[in-house]
Amino acid sequence: MLAKLKMDGQAVVVTGGGAGIGKAAAAALCEMGAISIIVGRTEKTLQDTQAEFQAKGWKCEIFVADVSKEADVGRLAAWVGSAFPEVKAVVNNAGNNFSSALHELPTERWRELMATNLDSVYFMCRDFIPLLLKASKPSIVNVASTFGVIGNAKMPVYCATKGGVVNLTRQMAIDYGPQGLRVNSVCPGSTLSPRYKGYLDKGLVNMDAVKARIMLGRPADCDEIGDVIAFLVSDAASFVTGATMVVDGGQTIH
């Protein structure tokens, strides 16, 4: 089992990897011996994360890109393809959310979140599948949400995009499983990412209400989600594909 968790210098691309769940996943993969290629929109955040990782002796590359934009993903794939002979895995973690009732939701805001949460997964998978298929036992992990399998108040576009990620994952697992490519989704519940902590600080989230819905009585730490992502990437999960891995402390079981 432990040998199957070792990455041995294999390249893994993590979007939204500068902070939060993406950073935690990239860190776990680095600990396992991967070269984490961390992608994000803010260069300073990426540089800080890279410096932190390198201080621990981990191998890490960074690339500034907005993966909701087709051209940026094309640049990223071209660079990775020139720098690495193959890619072991892609973790599609970039995403955003906001609260709005559907009848008050402007079209541009709908399009914005569709691009960030769903188009980005399409662009990344399309452009990286040729590189993934060169690797032994390659994998894609798409980060969705518990709100991709249940509804939530005033989050119509977020729920729609994350539900799309879950079912796109299942569909790709069908098409590419015969070629050895595994595709899974992870659905985190409430997680103490920097963005979520910002909501708490602004009073936009009632922590008592959140805890009441979670059987373990607390939100997740980012590394609790990152560890599951890293496991799914690894060969220890070699017979897992098309799965929707809910990691929510028991939020969705009642």
**Hey, where are the domains in the chain?**
10-246
Q: What is the pLDDT of residues 153-181, one digit of tens each?
A: 999 999 999 999 999 999 999 999 999 99
> What is the mean predicted confidence (pLDDT) over 62-76?
98
Per-residue exposure over 165-189, b if at least 16 CB sit within 10 Å of its own CB, e if not: bbebbeebbeebeeeebbbbbbbbb
| pTM for the model | 0.97
- Residue 176 is predicted with a pLDDT of 98
Positions marked catalytic? 158
Q: If DSSP states are collapsed to H, E and C, what string results for 83-129?
A: HCCCCCEEEECCCCCCCCCHHHCCHHHHHHHHHHHHHHHHHHHHHHH
* Fold type of domain 10-246: Rossmann fold (3.40.50)
Statement: residue 200 has pLDDT above 90: no
- Residue 254 is predicted with a pLDDT of 82
Give CA 109 to chain center in angstroms.
21
Predicted confidence band of residue 139 (pLDDT cuts 50, 70, 90): very high
Query: Comparing C-alpha atoms, which of 114, 124, 155 is closest to residue 16?
Result: 124
Share of the chain above pLDDT 90, in %: 92
Predicted confidence band of residue 184 (pLDDT cuts 50, 70, 90): very high
